[in-house]
Amino acid sequence: MSEDSSKKVGRREFMGTAAAAAGFMIMAPQLVRGTAANSALRVGLLGCGGRGTADAEYLIDTGKARLVALADIFQDQLDKAKTHFDKFQKAKGYAPIERSLMFRGPNAYKEIANSKDVDVVVITTPPYFHPEHLAEVVTAGKHVYCEKPVAVDPAGCVSVLDSGRRAQGRLSLEVGFQLRNAPPYVEQVKRIHAGALGNILSGTGHYFSGYIDRPSWPGASLDERRLRNWVHYRILSGDIIVEQNIHVVDCCNWFLQGHPIKASASGSNLHRPDHGDAYTNYNVVFEYPNGVSMTFGSTQFNKGWWDVGWMFFGTKGVSETHYNGPVAIYGDNAWKYGEGASEAGGGKFSAAGVFHGNLDQADPLKKMSFVESILNNQFHNQAEQGVESALSCMMARHSAYTGREVTYEQISTSGEKWTDDIDLSQFA
């Protein structure tokens, strides 16, 4: 890390100094436009689980990218991904993934980041490793799509901002907040920012989901089970509020055009059916600037029902937003996006983040925007947004853990660093 971890890492101006980043690799022209033999961007997938598979498929479906490399700590994940993507890409005329571009083990992230055959790296490893993996990819001069959250602790956020500085103006650094590309939400935000609700006074949000079931992996060591089932462990995932609920918090920051300044929270891991220590529920009161108070609740154990959504209450009306269900404004400036989906709360909850209804176009548009930013040299840099939303959630998490009110200033300057005790060399 090139910056003292005690330095503030909230919303701030840092982009202007990026051009002076020392030691940064200048991209060769082929990293912008692909190879002469094939104009499609060459993508490497780092982390071959469910979300990584979905992200890579959406990129391939743009028609402007192809998956050429895989990296994972486990061989069975690599083999499964190769089988899947060889079939998926065959219909598009792409060759099978070469065995020489399948990287396994604790150093696989370095190998795929530094491969001369890769233009873009998609990072979908356990969030604990995101800052380290992101730094390696940016140092290698590759464009990067990093899934949320960008970090699990404030020290990791410092590293991510440093990567953002070094990428600025040279690389696209995209963070997996695809909800900001969902057409219903984009239109609703446009209207709210234009004054449709008047002065917003308060809000409420929720992420009520089912339990994320994972295999038991009989015969595997404890360390292996933790890595394979990382979503159940707070150090590897960041806990449910940082790993999963962050989508709603990020959207609330977007709608309110800023991050919360303090939080009071509670939660527990009661009735968790596995051996993990991540919480099963949270209840939070966020305070945003201008005295706007927002409540937030989440669960990760429901059976037979789920819903994700948020509402804001203003002097001219009320807004309502759901994953599946109405996206509307009521009051003086009434508006509704389409008819809304009719399956709110029903069906199986998607642990991989693949939803239908209001989010049908979110991922396709997000991936197309990312690809176009590279091909048109209009590079995206979402490091600051990723950090801001992660710190907002960490603030609430810390409040729940300690039972004390926590401010954004306190969490962003804390320098807190989480350390996992898994020795990755055993998986070499």
Rounded (10°) CA dihedral 23, 29, 34, 39: 170
Domain shared by 342 and 378, yes or no: no
Degrees to nearest 5, angle at CA 397 with 396 and 401:
120
Per-residue model confidence as pLDDT tens digits over 271-318: 999 989 999 999 999 999 999 999 999 999 999 999 999 999 999 999
CATH number for 284: 3.30.360.10
Give the tens place of pLDDT for each residue, 209-228: 999 999 999 999 999 999 99
Domain count, the chain: 2
Mean pLDDT score of the chain, rounded to an integer?
Answer: 90
**Terminal CA-CA length for the chain:** 25
- 78 and 160 together in one domain: yes
Pair 58, 96 in one domain? yes
The mean pLDDT of 192-203, rounded to a whole number, is: 98
In a domain, 340, yes or no: yes
Same domain, 40 and 60: yes
Contact 329, 196 (CB under 8 A): yes
Closest Cα to residue 360, out of 306, 321, 324? Answer: 324
CATH number (domain holding residue 45): 3.40.50.720
Q: What is the dihedral of CA 213, 246, 350, 172, to 10 degrees?
A: -120
Give the pLDDT score at 338.
78
Sheet of 406-407: strand order equals: 335-336, 328-331, 317-322, 307-314, 200-210, 292-302, 281-288, 262-268, 406-407
Domain that holds residue 103: 15-179+372-382
The pLDDT-based confidence of 138 (bands split at 50, 70, 90) is very high
> For residues 32 and 377, is the Cβ–Cβ distance under 8 A?
yes
With a cut of 70, say whether residue 352 has pLDDT above it: no
The total of other beta-carbon atoms located within 10 Å of residue 213's CB is 11
Single pTM value for the model: 0.89
